[in-house]
Amino acid sequence: MSVRELFPFFKWGFNIRRSNFLVPILSNNIIVTGEEAVSFEKPLPARDPSQIVVVDKAQQQSNSTCISEQKSQQTTNSNTTPNSPAAVLAEKKDRFSPSSPESSNANQNHNQNKKDNNNNNNNKIDNNIEQQIINENNTEIMKINSTTPPPSPSSPSSKISDQSNEEIIEKIEKGMIQLYKLEAELGDCSRAVVIRRTILEKNLGRQIEALPHETYDFEKVQGACCENVIGYVPIPVGAAGPLLLNGQTVTIPMATTEGCLVASTHRGCKAISESGGARCTILSRGMTRAPVVRFPNITLVGEFVQWVNATDNFVAIKQQFESTSRFAKLTNIKTTVAGRSVYIRFKCDTGDAMGMNMVSKGVDSVLSMLRDRFADLEIVSLSGNMCTDKKPSAINWIDGRGRSVVCEAVITGDIVRKLLKTSVQGLVDLNISKNLVGSAMAGSIGGFNAHASNIVTAIFLATGQDCAQNVESSNCITLMEACNDGQDLYMTVTMPSIEVGTVGGGTFLPAQSSCLDIIGVRGSSTSLPAGSNADQLAKTICAAVMAGELSLMSALSAGTLMQSHLQLNRKQQTTTTQNLEKI
């Protein structure tokens, strides 16, 4: 029943739009308030106000007894729900009806009082009636609320997941549902992708059916790898090798859209393997994070740096850092000062994880400890760019980050001539002119190579690594020299900052896990020390880079690079006469 329909029954002038109080409504000698007032489907006919009775304190106790008896009878009635608002209202109606004993007795008292009192007393009676019945009604409502069980969850029809896609899209457009919360609201990641695609296609005004989304387990992506998912991009995966590395063969999965890359790397793997294989070792490992803090003056800066560099204090910092993870092992702290700012570069062994979150968590804990000790210390940022993450920098090139790896191989003169179609001296001269002098003239940092990032990125994509970290992971210097009286080629590749992991990030996705399986490094090893699988992955990448460097440099030396790319990197398309006429 609407407020407009109820308006004639407002007896005492309350304004329902401006009052926060319960609005009493008089109808048929029953006063109800609040939600009960609007529970009537239609108003009951009003009666003469003279029938309204006064209930004194003595009779109030009697009426309470009657109410209790009536409520007991109503509980046994199968047609009326106990303690329901309708039952309470019906009880009150019966109690104050003209035929009830309570009403008859009350009418007698009312008539007597009417003879003895003037009109002012009548107004007082009205006020007493109003207050008493409102109090009784509120008491009954409180009893009902205390005995009524909490409301049941929303009915299935009100759940978002039970609504149609069209209804959900309409709510999204009205701002009732956030687009990025679809997975959580629906509990169905695949359906969330479909709805999001529909909205995107509507906004774009065109279809995106070429972007696939079916037959993919988006549950694994949710909360881990991507947000606002609309599908996935299939990337071709090729296999280079096998490559003989440290006495064992390894096959290298490479995800790429660049023709000739896998073929070229495969040729390098063959040349290395047929020459006796490659040898690779880890020089150091440790993920870094460098926050920046600030002091009011350089005197405090000097005191802070001295405190951090003290051996005993490093032990305390290490204990605080390692309390945040059972895998993190703090190995080094380096401070760098710029004015009154201090950059603190933490280096931490993170096992088989790439470890950025792990080291960041430990650093955050140490910063809290330092702030408690140094009252004037101001934490400017958790990262001050001396880490350095996903940016070219000299510090990664010099001090390393992640895994620092070096790989070597001796390529026999016969393999150089027959398989690579060039000469040992030709490769040596080209490497000096291109990878060393040319890169130096360009002012390169860590770019003393032919195309290390090509191989790094392809393996990163295939194995679920953080592809943005190919910036520092591709730091590489390729060196070549003649050996064995100039008959053979001695080659090394040094990569000081390969940042990889075999757990965490995208490594758990099915396709990426499968590629890690191809290499034999999925997850953590149960029989080898922590970090062994990530070490092996870094070695595999370094050896694959060397294979790619050897093959590309040979193609450049022999002058066959362009021919190879025209053959493998250009799709031949048949052009009909009809198509030519349209051009």
Which has more pLDDT, 87 or 259?
Answer: 259
3-state secondary structure at position 117 = coil
**Out of 115-124, 279-288, 412-421, least confident range:** 115-124
Sequence-distant (≥ 6) Cβ neighbours of residue 380 within 8 angstroms: 291, 292, 293, 294, 341
The answer on pLDDT for 577 being more than 70 is no
Residue 127's pLDDT is 58
Residue 55's pLDDT is 45
Nearest by Cα to 157 from 167, 149, 172: 167
The answer on pLDDT for 259 being more than 70 is yes
Q: Which tokens in the block code for residue 83?
A: 């303690």
Residue 446's pLDDT is 96
pLDDT in tens, 201-224: 999 999 999 999 999 999 999 989
3-state secondary structure at position 90 = helix
Mean pLDDT confidence for 26-42:
47
- Given the structure tokens 């190919």, which residue do they identify? 470
Q: What is the 3-state secondary structure (H, E, C) of 196-253?
A: HHHHHHHHHCCCCCCCCCCCCCCCCCCCCCCCCCCCCCCCCEEEEEEEEECCEEEEEE
The answer on pLDDT for 58 being more than 80 is no
Highest mean pLDDT among 68-77, 98-107, 133-142, 498-507: 498-507
CA–CA separation, 555 and 543 (whole Å): 19
The answer on pLDDT for 549 being more than 70 is yes
Residue 264's pLDDT is 96
Mean pLDDT confidence for 433-455:
97
Residue 159's pLDDT is 86
Confidence of residue 560 (pLDDT cuts 50, 70, 90): confident
The Cβ of residue 354 has, within 10 Å, a number of other Cβ atoms equal to 24
The Cβ of residue 577 has, within 10 Å, a number of other Cβ atoms equal to 6
Mean pLDDT confidence for 175-202:
95
Residue 133's pLDDT is 57
pLDDT in tens, 73-123: 544 444 444 455 555 445 555 554 545 555 455 455 545 554 455 555 555
In the chain, what percentage of residues exceed pLDDT 90?
68
The answer to whether residues 279 and 409 touch, using CB atoms and an 8 Å cutoff, is: yes
Task: Tell me the C-alpha to C-alpha distance, in Å, between residue 164 and each of 159, 167, 186, 213.
Answer: 11, 5, 11, 20
Which has more pLDDT, 142 or 492?
Answer: 492
What is the rounded average pLDDT for all residues in the chain?
Answer: 82
pLDDT in tens, 241-251: 999 999 999 99
**Out of 6-20, 160-174, 250-264, 540-554, least confident range:** 6-20
The answer on pLDDT for 568 being more than 90 is no
3-state secondary structure at position 271 = helix
pTM greater than 0.85: no
CA–CA separation, 401 and 403 (whole Å): 6
The answer on pLDDT for 150 being more than 70 is no
Confidence of residue 399 (pLDDT cuts 50, 70, 90): very high
The answer to whether residues 107 and 100 touch, using CB atoms and an 8 Å cutoff, is: no
Highest mean pLDDT among 8-22, 47-61, 329-343: 329-343
Residue 154's pLDDT is 43
Task: Tell me the C-alpha to C-alpha distance, in Å, between residue 61 and each of 67, 94, 134.
Answer: 10, 17, 16
Q: How buried is residue 351: exposed, middle or buried, by Cβ count under 10 Å (0-12/13-18/19+)?
A: buried
The answer on pLDDT for 429 being more than 50 is yes
**Out of 62-66, 164-168, 450-454, 492-496, least confident range:** 62-66
**Out of 15-19, 122-126, 155-159, least confident range:** 15-19
Return the bridge partners of 406, or none: 281, 494
Structural domains of the chain in order of their starting residue, each with its CATH number: 3-147 (no CATH), 159-234 (1.10.3270.10), 237-285+393-568 (3.90.770.10), 291-381 (3.30.70.420)
Highest mean pLDDT among 138-147, 541-550, 564-573: 541-550
User: Buried b vs exposed e over 439-473: b needs ≥16 C-beta within 10 Å?
Assistant: beeeebbbbbbbbbbbbbbbbbbbbbbbeebbbbb
> Would you give the distance in Å from CA 390 to the centre of its chain?
20
Sign of torsion, CA 554 271 568 475?
negative
Phi and psi based region of residue 538 (left: phi greater than 0; alpha: psi -120 to 50; beta: remaining): alpha
Nearest by Cα to 396 from 327, 344, 474, 337: 474
Mean pLDDT confidence for 338-359:
97
CA–CA separation, 124 and 132 (whole Å): 12
The residues carrying an active-site annotation are: 258, 390, 466, 565
Which has more pLDDT, 174 or 16?
Answer: 174
Residue 143's pLDDT is 53
The answer on pLDDT for 444 being more than 70 is yes
The answer on pLDDT for 199 being more than 60 is yes
Mean pLDDT confidence for 295-302:
98
Mean pLDDT confidence for 183-203:
95
85-88-93-94 Cα dihedral, nearest 10 degrees: 140
User: Concatenated DSSP letters for 508-574?
Assistant: GSHHHHHHHHHHT--S--SSS-TTHHHHHHHHHHHHHHHHHHHHHHHHHHHT-HHHHHHHHSS----
Residue 307's pLDDT is 97
Sequence-distant (≥ 6) Cβ neighbours of residue 161 within 8 angstroms: 185, 186, 187, 188
User: Buried b vs exposed e over 557-569: b needs ≥16 C-beta within 10 Å?
Assistant: bbeebeebeeeee
The answer on pLDDT for 581 being more than 60 is no
Task: Tell me the C-alpha to C-alpha distance, in Å, between residue 71 and each of 90, 94, 146, 537.
Answer: 10, 12, 16, 78
Helix residue ranges, H only, 390-492: 394-399, 413-418, 424-431, 439-441, 452-463, 470-473
pLDDT in tens, 518-536: 999 999 999 999 999 999 9
